[in-house]
Amino acid sequence: MDFNRRKFIKNTAAAAAAVSVAPTILNACASPSEKVTVGLIGCRSMGWSDLSSFLKQENVECAALCDVDSKVLEEKAAAVEKQTGKRPQTYVDFRKVLENKDIDAVILGTPDHWHAIMMMMALDAGKHVFVEKPMGHSIEECNAMVKAAAKHPKLKVQVNMWQRSSKHWFEASDIVKSGQLGDVHLVKAWIYKGYNTPYPYHPDSEAPAHVDYDFWLGPAPKRPFNLNRYHYNFRWWWDYAGGAMTDWGVHLLDFALHGMDAGMPLSISPGGGIYYHEPGTLETPDIQQAIYSYPKHTMIWECGLNPGMGPYGKGHGVAFVGNKGTLVVDRGGWETISERNNAEKQPFFEGKKQKEYGDGMDEHVLNFLECIRKGGKLNTPVEIGAKTAIVSEMGNIAYRVGNRIHWDDTTKSFAEEEANQLIKLNYSENWKLPVV
């Protein structure tokens, strides 16, 4: 079938209007019916960004902040007081937040290794949960978190994969599923972060006096304090996170999976290493590939900390490569590129994200609040958060094993015992994953 640009956009709009899996973007006229009181656990970076989005919404109050860094805690408490006129209570121990009867929902902005324990304990305390991505730090944790949410059906758990609240990602998926790209046998997802200089080496040292470092470690193994492991840099160490694969990978692989209606892969092959950094400055790869094999297509993940320009001239994105054309989508919108052998029959056409779509973050928070107040469908429930986090973990497990690994979705295990050893984490003696 021949396509011109106008007909393509018309067909795409019709498909987008009909699709039922698009995010729940709420009408602006929907006014909140009751106040939602929140507490933030983990006050820097994404935790603070999350709370900032909550405080933009009507009838939301921040009653408590919790952080193991007293300097961060004081700074953010003062900022909330300046913005709202009311100073929140402050805690170092997150369990005090969960004991606070005035709090309806908690925002978890901690390093990844704390997400599962805190989310499960918050649900047992009767709190709704807004948890940062990746939802869990292991395959075992993700499965346990899904079970915990099912145990508390009246409580809402939103995973902050906020692209699920930005419509253009679903528009892109609709085009892939419509068949207009032809047969899609290759999907690529990538992030190239563009760091101009590598992380400097820091020796181990004493933790600052204003940091409760033992509490920061929590369920992770005991290690000396090091600036390269702390604050933002935690994501480059296996004890606490999974590198760029689980940082950006859960956002981008999510729609690589969604666009193809893909489940778990049959096998995963690794690539990459630490090439840009000195030994001891990080642990996760600064260049990484993962090749996921499916019955009818291949999905490739790529990341690099040093280069800033990725495939198709984009620093991040997802590309669906069909025999009639390729669709490329990132946070700025989507576009399609004709296959060169099909250019005369299918001239170049492109689509852009509409300005009123927003970036999805505020809409994601609003969706969570409205589901608390009125019920309804969360845009990123735990089942979606778990699926993508598990696929990301599989890529890291293949890298750590150093060989191709094979997944059996019936037994929920790998064929390789070395890979199975990495399905679970080894917790410190003071913290255990709650039993559901």
Which residue type, as a one-letter code, is found at position 416? E
Which among 118, 130, 80, 143 has a CA at the least distance from the CA of 366?
A: 130
Query: Which pLDDT belongs to residue 359?
Result: 76
Q: Max Cα separation, the chain? A: 69
* Rounded Cα–Cα distance for residues 175 and 3 (Å): 13
pLDDT in tens, 393-422: 999 999 999 999 999 999 999 999 999 999
Mean pLDDT calculated for residue range 331-358 = 70
| Whole-prediction pTM | 0.91
pLDDT in tens, 170-196: 999 999 999 989 999 999 999 999 999
Query: Given a cut of 50, is residue 48 above it in pLDDT?
Result: yes
Which residues make beta-bridge pairs with 317? 190
Query: Given a cut of 90, is residue 142 above it in pLDDT?
Result: yes
Cβ partners under 8 Å of residue 420, min gap 6: 413, 414
Fold of the 21-163 domain: Rossmann fold (3.40.50)
Which residue type, as a one-letter code, is found at position 295? P
Which residues make beta-bridge pairs with 211? 69
* Rounded Cα–Cα distance for residues 274 and 434 (Å): 35
Ramachandran bin of 417, using left for φ above 0, alpha for ψ from -120 to 50, beta for the remaining angles: alpha
Mean pLDDT of the chain: 91
CATH 3.40.50.720 placement within the chain: 21-163
CATH 3.30.360.10 placement within the chain: 165-355+384-420
Query: Which pLDDT belongs to residue 348?
Result: 54
Q: How confident is the model at residue 354 (pLDDT cuts 50, 70, 90)?
A: low
Cβ partners under 8 Å of residue 391, min gap 6: 253, 257, 264, 265, 292
Mean pLDDT calculated for residue range 330-343 = 82
Query: Given a cut of 80, is residue 345 above it in pLDDT?
Result: no
3-state secondary structure at position 171: helix
Query: Which pLDDT belongs to residue 337?
Result: 87
Pairing of β 413-414 and β 405-408? antiparallel
CB atoms within 10 A of CB 4: 11
Query: Which pLDDT belongs to residue 349?
Result: 60
Which among 430, 435, 428, 413 has a CA at the least distance from the CA of 139?
A: 413
Residue given tokens 């011109």 in the structure block: 4
Query: Given a cut of 70, is residue 41 above it in pLDDT?
Result: yes
Mean pLDDT calculated for residue range 17-26 = 45
422, 405 Cβ separation under 8 angstroms:
no
**Tokens at 160, concatenated:** 């902050």
Residue given tokens 């984009």 in the structure block: 314
Fold of the 165-355+384-420 domain: Dihydrodipicolinate Reductase; domain 2 (3.30.360)
Which residues make beta-bridge pairs with 291? 269, 300
